[in-house]
Structure 1
Amino acid sequence: MGRQGGWWLLILPAFLLMTAFYVAPIVQVLAISFTEPEPGLQNYERLFTSESVQRVIATTLRICVITTVLALALGYVLAYRIALAEERARRWWFMAVLVPLWISVLVRAFAWVTLLRRQGLVNEGLLAAGVIEEPLQLVWNEFGIVVGMVHYMVPYAVLPMLASMREIDPRLLAAARGLGASRLTVFARVFLPLSRPGLIAAAVLVFIFSLGFYITPAILGGGKTLMVAEWIALQIHNLVRWGLGTMMATMLVVAILLTLVVFSRVLDLRRVFGSGA
């Protein structure tokens, strides 16, 4: 066998593993969505006829969009601060970003429940300061879910934006300042456009991750606000409606793929994610 003809042997193990553990289960999920409880498109008709399905989808999209916007805003400020910090300070800032990623998502979710519940630290502090007269409902609703998801997603927003900002030549900023531009003008006309690929990469990453969130919405939503992943678990484990559950799981995969396709048509994702020249 020639050298040029045997390249496929190098990728064959990875291809088989991906087929066995990723592609095959997705195909099975797709098949179940069309065959349970009986063959047909009745499960997908629920997308247009069921108010509960439409409400879950709308709630998920709304929370994901809000989470993405807030995570990008907070992450951009943090990444900007890290990128312009001195080397020693940058290490500590970077460590502060990475540490939350090492903490279990369960621990973080229950910590927010402790902080935001009616007898929690936030409400007690606001009551003691006289800002409010009675405890606010800060958890077991959309607000609590957004808080927990933003806290989880900020590090994922920071990393691609920081990588993009680190590639910006500081001499460009110095040159703009030397030509008389104000700090705000330098940021708006030089720094922000050059950091745009990292901003877009972070938006794609955060939005896609947010679509499949399960533990954080389940704990901070208290079962009162359902997102797609929790709704799928409810249909399969509690109501044993495999057809509906797999239908929504299929739509979740389709939504993720469509998001990537749309962004790939607008931008070169290889360049955005740093895999291209």
Structure 2
Amino acid sequence: MKTTLKWTLPALLLAVYALPFLGVVFWSFSRPEPGLGNFAQIAQDGHVHGILLTTFRICAITTVLAVVMAYVVATCWAFASRTGRILIEVFVLIPFWVSPLIRAFAWILVLRGDGVLNNWLIGTGLVDAPLSLVRNEFGVVVGMVHFMVPYALFPIMSSFSQLDTRLLLASRGLGAGRLRTFWQVLFPLTLPGTIGAAVMVFVLSLGFFVTPAILGGGRVVMIAEYIYQQLFQLSDWGLAAALAVVVVAVVGVLVWLLNRMGGTALPQDR
């Protein structure tokens, strides 16, 4: 029985994940003709480079903003009362359970020219004309950050939950100020969770499709949407497969870096 269970999970993972991905790899080298033509096109095509640059730029901005916001929320959660913690968890989980499609359309209502935010800005006299806040990178980043903050928050909260607050008290007792205590004690202790949150957010952001497609309005195309276009609009399965392989390779490198950095970030026994 134990032997059967031992081999069942690897076989299931192989059937569900490995075999389909190997099929994608095969397409990337065989369609429309065998060879490295699709990867050569990726290396030479300026349009593809622009899509990749846009994707990595938006993912990087999203990662920084989401992790910073999540760290602030996690800090408030760690030092809040029991009631305060429950309220923070509720306000984080409610949007987390809402569909990305609903959230994207909600942001359109908020950010569009006659939306809530622009009407408020004009009504208060801060601007004279509506600002362009949607169907551009700004709108995409806003929607993605809103979606990704909970994903960044959970690893950071895990680090805070394992924090020994006596170390903070000792630092203050030895004369360190709040800022020095933060940079030399609190932040290093929560660094593994912060690194994990950053990698998780960046990796998940690479695969975003619905939010950029809606809030970008066709003007901001990220790699997932571009792969979709190659598959279902242009029927260029080879190029789409090659782009998917490149994205998976980037994700693999990031996961490897997470393991390396996570290991070095943890305190070492002496």
Measured against the shorter chain, the TM-score band is over 0.9
Correspondent of 1:152 among 125, 143, 147: 147
Matched, 1:79 2:67: no
Provide the aligned C-alpha RMSD in A: 1.7
Structure-1 residue corresponding to 2:258: 263
Q: How many residues align?
A: 267
Range moving further from structure 2, 170-179 or 191-200? 170-179
Matched, 1:237 2:227: no
What is the TM-score when the length of structure 2 is the normalising length?
0.95
TM superposition shift of 1:42: 0.9
Q: How many percent identity over aligned positions?
A: 44
Residue correspondence of structure 1 range 2-17 to structure 2 within 5 A: 8-17=3-12
1:155-179, Cα deviation, whole Å (9 max, x unpaired): 1111110110111111111122222
Q: Determine if contact 1:113/1:139 at 8 Å carries over to the other structure.
A: yes
| In structure 1, C-alpha distance between the alignment counterparts of 2:162 and 2:37, rounded to whole Å | 51
Residue correspondence of structure 1 range 1-277 to structure 2 within 5 A: 8-268=3-263
| In structure 1, C-alpha distance between the alignment counterparts of 2:142 and 2:125, rounded to whole Å | 23
Range moving further from structure 2, 63-72 or 9-18? 9-18
| In structure 2, C-alpha distance between the alignment counterparts of 1:93 and 1:195, rounded to whole Å | 19
The verdict on how the C-alpha distance between 1:269 and 1:39 changes in structure 2, with shifts beyond 3 A counting, is farther
1:7-51, Cα deviation, whole Å (9 max, x unpaired): 542222212221111111100011011111111111101122111
Structure 2 unaligned blocks of 5 or more = none
1:214-259, Cα deviation, whole Å (9 max, x unpaired): 1111111111111010000011011111111111111111110011
Range moving further from structure 2, 104-113 or 187-196? 187-196
| In structure 1, C-alpha distance between the alignment counterparts of 2:96 and 2:265, rounded to whole Å | 25
SS in structure 1 of the partner of residue 218 of structure 2: coil
| In structure 2, C-alpha distance between the alignment counterparts of 1:51 and 1:87, rounded to whole Å | 54
AA aligned opposite 1:189: Q
| In structure 1, C-alpha distance between the alignment counterparts of 2:47 and 2:28, rounded to whole Å | 18
Q: Determine if contact 1:33/1:247 at 8 Å carries over to the other structure.
A: yes
Q: Determine if contact 1:263/1:269 at 8 Å carries over to the other structure.
A: no
SS in structure 2 of the partner of residue 23 of structure 1: helix
AA aligned opposite 1:240: S
| In structure 1, C-alpha distance between the alignment counterparts of 2:62 and 2:134, rounded to whole Å | 16
TM superposition shift of 1:268: 2.0
| In structure 2, C-alpha distance between the alignment counterparts of 1:184 and 1:59, rounded to whole Å | 35
TM superposition shift of 1:98: 1.3
AA aligned opposite 2:258: F
TM superposition shift of 1:97: 1.3
| In structure 1, C-alpha distance between the alignment counterparts of 2:86 and 2:14, rounded to whole Å | 40
1:186-215, Cα deviation, whole Å (9 max, x unpaired): 212211111111111101111111111111
SS in structure 1 of the partner of residue 208 of structure 2: coil
What is the TM-score when the length of structure 1 is the normalising length?
0.92
